[in-house]
Structures are given as C-alpha cells and as structure tokens.
Amino acid sequence: MKKQKTDIKALISQMTIDEKIGQLIQLNANFFADSSADITGPWEKLGIDKEALKTIGSTLNFHGADEMVAIQKKHLEEDRNKIPMLFMMDVIHGYRTIYPIPLAMGASFDPETVTECSKMAAREASAGGIQVTFTPMVDYVRDARWGRVMETCGEDPYLNSVMGATQVKAFQGDDLSDRDNLATCVKHFAAYGGAEAGRDYNTVEISERLLREYYLPAYKACIDAGVTMLMPSFNTLNGVPSIANKWLMKKVLKDEWGFEGVVISDYNAVGELLKHGMTDSTKDAAEMSFNCGCDIEMMSITYYLHLKELIAEGKVSEKAIDEAVERILTLKDALGLFEDPTRGASSEKEAAVCLTPEHRDISRRAAEACAVLLKNDGVLPFSESTKKIALIGPFADSKEIKGFWACCGKDDECVSVYEGIKALLPDAEITVARGCSAQWNELDKDGFDEAVAAAKNADAVILCLGEPQKYSGEGNSRADIGLPGVQNELAALCLEANKNTAALVFSGRPLTLCELDAACPAILEMWFPGSEGGSAAANLLFGKVNPSGKVSMSFPKAVGQCPIYYNHPSTGRPKRKPEDVHQPYASNYIGCGNLPLYPFGHGLSYTEFTYESMELDTHELTKDGKITVKVTVKNTGDRAGKEVVQLYIHDLYASAVRPIQQLVAFEKISLSAGETKTVTFEISEPMLRFWDAECKHISEAGDFDLFVGYADHPYIKDTFKLI
C-alpha cells in the first residue's frame, strides 16, 4: 500500500478514546441518511447515541454517489477531527454493468477476463462512491447445496487462488489513491464453504490438515497479492466462531502470515457470538473479537458499548486500539481520502461511466467466455439462417438472469435470450412460450400445450431452463438441486416434438441434470451471465462465438453425491473402474456411481482439439530445480476456438494420502482452424508440497504421475520423480 501524506500517528494522538472507538464501528448508511439501499443482513435497532454517530469510521449499504457525497459532507462538518468516512459495499460481479457470477468467472479459466471485468467494476463503483469492495470471496466449496457457491471460483484451491489474487490486483491497481481503483476485502476467513450439509451459516468441522491443504491457500494468495482488508466468516470452525477463534485469527493470520491489513467482522458476527452460545454478554463478545484482531465491528455495537470499560479494566489495551485505528486511517490515507474524501464520485460521473456500450461489451464477452458447453450431439451451433425458432421455458424472455447480489444492477437492464436472438437474427420468426415456472412449488402445466405446439412448428428449439436467481447467494441453500418445478417434464415433451433442440441452463450452482442430459442433444450452461446474458447466449447458440468455458465445480448426478470434488484422496477400496455402477465392498454409490455427470475441467467446443504431445525436459526433479513441460495442441476442426490446457499431478506414495489428481497449472489459448501451439509449464518442488500428518508443509521424494486433460480424463500421461 502506497502512503503516506497524512501524519496518522499525530492525528491519533489528538483523538479521544470515544473518537478512536468510532473508527472501529461500521453501520449501515441508513443511520446517516434516508438511504434507499438494500440492507444485506438482519436489521435491528441498535440503540446508538446520536452524538456517537458523528465519530463513526465507515458505512456500508448506501445507494449511489449522491447519497455518499451527502453523507461524507455532513460527516466532515460534524467530525471534530475531519476524518473522512470509508464507504464499503459488496461489488461481487459488477456495480451497474453486471458480469457473470464468480462461479462462472472461474469457469472462464481466464484471468484476463477476470481482470477486465474487475477493472470495469472498480471504475463504475468508484464513480458511485464506493471505496472498498467486499471482494474477493474465495471460500473453497464442494457442496452445491450451499447457495454461496455462486460467489466463489469453484472447487479447486489453485484456480480459486489464481482468480482471487487476480481480482485483488485488478480492483486495487498499482495505486489505491487512483480514483479508478478500489480497496478489496478477502472473505470469509475461514472455511465458510465447508458448512455442514451445504446449509448456510452452519457449523464447520474440519481437520487442520484439510483446512490448510484445501481451504486456506486462496485467502493466503489474496494476502500475498496485497489485499487490504479481511473478513472472518460467520461459521464456527472446529467449535469456535472465526471471529473469536484465536488459532485462526492470531496464530495463522497474524503470526504465520503476517497480515497487516484491516480486519472487519461480517454483518453482526460479533453480536452473533451470543447466539452461538459463546457467552451471554455483549461485553465478552467485544473482548473476544477485539483481542482476536477484529478491527472493525460491522452492524453490532459491542465495541461502542464496552471497549472503554474493557480498557479501564485492563482487558483490552489502549495500544491495541491505537494500532487498529492506525490500520484503518492508513487505509483511508492510501485511498487518498484526506485530500479527496469523495474521490470524484457524482451522479453525473456515475451516469457517464456506467452501462456504457464498452462496458456492456466487456460483460458480453465475459458471459461468452464463461458459458460451458456441457453436451453437444452435433445440434449446435444452429445455423444463422434458421427461419423459425421456438424459445421455450421460464428463461426464454426473462431478464432475471443477472444473478444474486448484483449491487446496483437492475433486472430490466439485462438482455434476455429473446432480445439477444432477435438482435442477432432480426429476420427470424421467433415464438416465445414460457411453458412453466422455475419456482420449486409452482407446478402448473397450463403452458405445456402452447410450448409443445411451438416446438413442433419450429426449425430449432431452444429450451431456456434453470433455477431462479434468488435460489443462490447468501441464506439460499437448497436440499434438492435439480431443475425446480415441472421443467424436466416440459423439456421431455418438447424434445418428443422436436429433436433439433438445445437447452440453455441458468443457475447459480451446478444442478443435477441427468434427466435433461438423457433427453436433450445439447446443453449450454450459462450460469447467471449478467447484463448481456441474452446477447452472449445468441452468439454462442448460432456459432458467432465458440464456447470455451470449463466446469469450475463438479455437476453431481444426484444430490446424494454431495460433497463431490474431483481432487479427492485415494480410498483403500477404490472401484476397479470408476464408471462402474456397482462393485461390492468398494467405495461406491449403488446405481449412481461416484463420478459426477460433468467433471471439473470439462467443457466442449464447436471445434476439435488434439493433444499431440507432452514433453518433459527431464524426468527427475531436484529440490531446487525445475521440469519444463511442453504440451502441443492442435485445432483439428474447421473453426477457431479456445482451449484450456490443464496440467494435473498425482503424488503416488506419501506419508499422508494424496489426492488422486490435482490441478497445478492451466493456460487458456486461442487456436485458429488447423493451428498448432505449444504451451510451456514449469514444475518445481514447492508445487509438490503438502501438509503431512503433523501439519508440516513438506514434499517427499518419490514418484508422480502427470497428465494433461481434465478431471478423470487424461489425454496424455507421463511420470517424474522428485529426488
């Protein structure tokens, strides 16, 4: 973080203890203005004194530049020390121009797309008065029932780390005081995604080894990338809520990782220590959280009520309070707030910067890069000269496709599939038949006849299916992750009527799609694609753009397979052939088997890629050496396309059981028809380290398998030895 224009130590020395505590409190904007913004957590009257409001250091959930400027102006008039407030919000996948949800961004396997979208979001959000975004969310996930899988980049620690670090760098840029940049806050530390049974806010019990190997690396990667803030998670981690978890917050975060940024609680998480049953007193909650390193308390006021008393009793040190305030003021200074408290935000700038054609273009290209062609029996792409098109299903002409938690994005600013196709093929005759609802409890089939008639009468049918956007995101877990309502029945009838059919799926998680997969010749996963979802869908369906996304989280065959993840450890009783449905006394689900329907890394294209060779310059790796791996790929089809070259290893023998496959590198490349390219990867000893039974991060000499391909699908295999 660049600094320092303001003499922060001198400023702190003139602050009263109440003023210092004010910096450690974050309240919703409706405490300071008549705000129209969404409240992102439970709302309770807190009972904070009007005078104290003048000292509050930061706010969240305000709406737009005008509101921000008014709050800041009033605050600076009232605050004796003239310390600007910090304005924070959740800019998760765009501010006004919405790009695909993070799980989709993971599926792009393309850090460049992530960079471009994050920079766009930072520009727009900054014009709207936001200074810090509660991004990136890098919780590692294995269970699609959890609604917040939509906010992560998926089930692989390495992919999640790369994408998290990329977001930090793109949002923050080189200089935080540049008005186009935002500070970032990595969350939710730690292992929020490990919630039992995928139910949000639920308990997390995992071993330290598992935690360190799968769950922690992405948070660490964001810290190494320079993230300025960190948010502990709501959940208990091995019995203790993160915010009061000394092992996590002190030993790992501060002592081992040396995190020097600002720690902010999640919404009312300090107050929730009482509901967890850690204590019956808000005073204890304040003491536990502050002494665990939580600098700012969001939307509960235990610090306001008790810190002064805790200092007087010697339970909290004033030096620690000063240090916390210093961290916060240093961030304000790095953002340039003391000279530039509104950073040029205005409604005029907001109007000029947001939703421009350039930004819509970025969003559309991102949606195209994220879509995954799950299945294609040759139906796609449809010809651009198709005359009669039937668009069937609840998402046929729906604008509710931007995805949950889209900041200032509006549904009516999204391009629906119908609008996208109409714009691409103005002369085609398009019939829209909704057919049924996407809600789980709406089973009405009144629209079936119209839909089947439209399917019969069409040259090409596009089924537009999925789950409502509010089925994923915070607090929205599902016990059944199939297509809700009667959508499968609708699809079956339309497919009987017309086989020239492809399905688009809109979802915030991998759904169980076996029925659709069995019946439908082509399936394109759109996720929640954002403002330009319909334009992207049209370009992909009619072959203007070649799909290139890859599955970022396994699509289970049945919800009972959850948690399911490709990089699982070996079992002592594996099946002879993973695809077998039954084998007695083997680790297996009868009937369904263990494999997902669509594994991690899978994704088809309209062209063919042939992996011609994988060459290693040596098969022996020394501790300080490297192996150079050259993978040659040819586009053997007849159109240009992009391929994600993925490199996996398997450590064959180790003192702690290793995953059967593990992504260690990837690169997305473009190949024109007939073109051949060679991708170069390097393998070095640190990539082979793991957490052993004593939780030491080590590597062990021995044999490794290496392959290019995707989960459970090696194209070319080789081996090497660590000596």
Site of interaction with ligand NOJ (CB under 6 A): 40-41, 60, 90, 134, 187, 266-267, 474
**Closer CB to ligand NOJ, 60 or 191, in the complex:** 60
By three-state DSSP, how is residue 10 classified? helix
* Residue 713, burial from CB neighbour count under 10 angstroms (0-12, 13-18, 19+): middle
Q: Among 557, 607, 628, 608, which residue's Cα sits nearest to residue 715?
A: 608
* 662-671/641-651 β-pairing: antiparallel
CA distances from 292 to 243, 357, 659, 683 (A): 7, 46, 33, 38
**Closer CB to ligand NOJ, 90 or 297, in the complex:** 90
Q: For residues 402 and 533, is the Cβ–Cβ distance under 8 A?
A: yes
Q: Among 148, 67, 170, 134, which residue's Cα sits nearest to residue 102?
A: 148
Q: How far is the CB of 527 from ligand NOJ (least distance, A)?
A: 19
**Closer CB to ligand NOJ, 215 or 707, in the complex:** 215
**Closer CB to ligand NOJ, 140 or 418, in the complex:** 140
By three-state DSSP, how is residue 235 classified? coil
Taken in order 518, 107, 371, 528, is the CA torsion positive or negative? Answer: positive
**Closer CB to ligand NOJ, 116 or 139, in the complex:** 139
> In residues, how long is the chain?
723
Q: How far is the CB of 266 from ligand NOJ (least distance, A)?
A: 5
The amino acid at residue 353 is: V
Q: How far is the CB of 136 from ligand NOJ (least distance, A)?
A: 11
Q: How far is the CB of 542 from ligand NOJ (least distance, A)?
A: 38
Q: Tokens for 169?
A: 């760098």
Q: For residues 325 and 23, is the Cβ–Cβ distance under 8 A?
A: yes
**Closer CB to ligand NOJ, 234 or 691, in the complex:** 234
For 239, left (φ over 0), alpha (ψ -120 to 50), or beta?
A: left
Q: How far is the CB of 270 from ligand NOJ (least distance, A)?
A: 13
**Closer CB to ligand NOJ, 100 or 232, in the complex:** 232
CA of residue 210 relative to chain centroid, distance:
21
**Closer CB to ligand NOJ, 60 or 310, in the complex:** 60
Q: How far is the CB of 661 from ligand NOJ (least distance, A)?
A: 31
**Closer CB to ligand NOJ, 110 or 266, in the complex:** 266
Q: How far is the CB of 184 from ligand NOJ (least distance, A)?
A: 12
Q: How far is the CB of 97 from ligand NOJ (least distance, A)?
A: 20
Q: How far is the CB of 233 from ligand NOJ (least distance, A)?
A: 8
Q: Clarify whether 580 is annotated catalytic.
A: no
The interaxial angle of helices 448-456 and 487-497, nearest 10 deg, is 30
Q: Among 509, 432, 408, 494, which residue's Cα sits nearest to residue 102?
A: 509
d(CA 90, CA 130): 9
Q: How far is the CB of 170 from ligand NOJ (least distance, A)?
A: 19
Residues 6+ apart with CB under 8 A from 391: 397, 417, 418, 421, 430, 431, 432, 433, 462, 464
Q: For residues 500 and 455, is the Cβ–Cβ distance under 8 A?
A: no
**Closer CB to ligand NOJ, 265 or 635, in the complex:** 265
**Closer CB to ligand NOJ, 215 or 382, in the complex:** 215
By three-state DSSP, how is residue 494 classified? helix
Q: How far is the CB of 269 from ligand NOJ (least distance, A)?
A: 8
Q: What is the 3-state secondary structure (H, E, C) of 141-189?
A: CCCCCCHHHHHCCCCCHHHHHHHHHHHHHHHHCCCCCCCCCCEEEEEEE
Q: Tokens for 154?
A: 């998926």
Q: Tokens for 356?
A: 């421009």
* Residue 16, burial from CB neighbour count under 10 angstroms (0-12, 13-18, 19+): exposed
CA distances from 136 to 103, 168, 316, 469, 529 (A): 12, 7, 31, 20, 18
d(CA 310, CA 668): 54
Q: How far is the CB of 712 from ligand NOJ (least distance, A)?
A: 33
d(CA 404, CA 93): 9
CA atoms within 13 A on the CB side of 52: 19
Q: For residues 682 and 628, is the Cβ–Cβ distance under 8 A?
A: yes
**Closer CB to ligand NOJ, 137 or 389, in the complex:** 137
Q: How far is the CB of 259 from ligand NOJ (least distance, A)?
A: 18
β-pair partners for 264:
296
Q: Tokens for 507?
A: 């979802």
Torsion angle in degrees (nearest 10) through CA of 535, 541, 543, 545: 50
351: part of which helix (H) or strand (E)?
A: helix 347-353
Give the active site residue among 110, 139, 180, 266.
Answer: 266
**Closer CB to ligand NOJ, 267 or 704, in the complex:** 267
Q: Tokens for 646?
A: 């993925």
Catalytic residue numbers?
A: 266
